[in-house]
């Protein structure tokens, strides 16, 4: 095993062209699709309702992304980005340090818009495409660095939120280890199916590791093992490194595996897996 160590800017391109496209699904169909993708029990909002929310103000004290710009390739994905903002996940407006575009794609219409979206938002950045529906096919393009999708049967909206939260905790927040975007990109580059298994724990890292023992690991998969602790105590973490190393030694030798520790009021352990698609 190799161990390594305030606003959403929504793309509004081509809505007229999308309306004229013979392949465009109806607005009603898009709303039904968005409701299904975002999940039951969450408030679904349309464009008019979203305008009202912008006017009245939104509480944004959750995940402010300063290095990532969230972009939509179609109407369904745009509604999903709106919902993310309602849930406190958004791109900082006019951030001078954006280095990656994350483009969400939900429909065949969106597939045809991906390259245009990338080109309109500085194609020299890292460009990551996330498939919200697994049935669509994204062709390889020189400007696309990673194409990600979620595991079959998973709910895409909760998975997307967990992915963005994991990215924020490991890349944009200070952590005990020197883990940065280059390390994170090593995990997601190319075509991959991604998944996150996470548990809360109460006492110490050993308890957290016990939670993960039931998770099967596989050859050829790239992993990130992440712990959050209520207080970063160097002595305590130093004492636990042997347990962490022993746990990670059980991973297949060919795997690239990172680990990281961050500080948070809620203590969790998470195992992020990036499974290459041949």
Tell me what pLDDT residue 27 has: 40
**Distance from C-alpha of 55 to C-alpha of 19, rounded to nearest angstrom:** 26
pLDDT greater than 90 at residue 215: no
Mean pLDDT along residues 93-108: 93
pLDDT greater than 80 at residue 158: yes
**Distance from C-alpha of 50 to C-alpha of 143, rounded to nearest angstrom:** 31
Structure confidence by residue, pLDDT tens digits, 234-271: 776 776 777 888 888 888 877 888 888 888 778 888 99
- In terms of pLDDT, which residue wins out, 235 or 27? 235
Which range, of 121-135, 140-154, 170-184, averages the lowest pLDDT?
A: 170-184
Mean pLDDT along residues 121-145: 93
Tell me what the pLDDT averaged over the chain comes to. 79
**Distance from C-alpha of 196 to C-alpha of 150, rounded to nearest angstrom:** 10
Tell me what pLDDT residue 2 has: 53
**Distance from C-alpha of 110 to C-alpha of 72, rounded to nearest angstrom:** 8
Tell me what pLDDT residue 264 has: 79
pLDDT greater than 50 at residue 160: yes
**Distance from C-alpha of 197 to C-alpha of 202, rounded to nearest angstrom:** 17
Tell me what pLDDT residue 193 has: 97
Domain holding 109, by residue range, is 2-276
Exposure b/e, 208-218, CB count within 10 A at least 16 = b: bbebbeeeebe
pLDDT band, very low/low/confident/very high, at 50 (cuts 50, 70, 90): very low
What are the angstrom distances between the C-alpha of 52 and each of 43, 77, 184, 203, 234? Answer: 14, 19, 36, 44, 47
Structure confidence by residue, pLDDT tens digits, 55-97: 344 443 479 999 999 999 999 999 999 999 999 999 998 889 9
Structure confidence by residue, pLDDT tens digits, 175-190: 556 678 888 899 999 9
Q: What percent of the chain has pLDDT over 70?
A: 75
pLDDT greater than 50 at residue 46: no
Tell me what pLDDT residue 185 has: 92
Structure tokens at 181: 């975007």
Number of domains the chain is built from = 1
């Amino acid at each position: 095993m190799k161990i390594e160590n305030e606003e959403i800017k929504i793309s509004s391109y081509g809505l007229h062209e999308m309306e004229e496209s013979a392949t465009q699904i109806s607005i009603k169909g898009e709303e039904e699709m968005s409701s299904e993708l975002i999940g039951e029990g969450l408030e679904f909002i349309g464009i008019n309702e979203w305008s009202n929310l912008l006017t009245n103000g939104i509480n944004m004290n959750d995940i402010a992304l300063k290095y990532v710009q969230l972009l939509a390739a179609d109407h369904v994905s745009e509604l999903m980005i709106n919902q993310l903002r309602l849930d406190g996940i958004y791109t900082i407006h006019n951030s001078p340090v954006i280095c990656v575009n994350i483009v969400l794609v939900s429909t065949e219409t969106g597939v045809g818009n991906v390259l245009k979206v990338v080109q309109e938002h500085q194609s020299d950045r890292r460009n990551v495409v996330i498939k919200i529906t697994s049935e669509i096919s994204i062709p390889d393009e020189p400007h696309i660095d990673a194409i990600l999708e979620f595991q079959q049967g998973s709910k895409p909206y909760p998975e997307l939120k967990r992915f963005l939260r994991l990215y924020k905790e490991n890349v944009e927040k200070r952590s005990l280890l020197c883990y940065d975007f280059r390390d994170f990109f090593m995990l997601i580059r190319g075509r991959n199916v991604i998944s996150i298994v996470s548990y809360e724990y109460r006492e110490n890292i050993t308890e957290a590791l016990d939670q993960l023992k039931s998770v099967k690991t596989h050859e050829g998969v790239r992993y990130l093992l992440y712990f959050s602790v209520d207080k970063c105590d160097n002595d305590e973490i130093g004492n636990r490194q042997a347990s962490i190393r022993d746990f990670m030694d059980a991973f297949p030798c060919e795997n690239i595996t990172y680990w990281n520790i961050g500080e948070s009021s809620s203590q969790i352990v998470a195992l992020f897996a990036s499974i290459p698609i041949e």
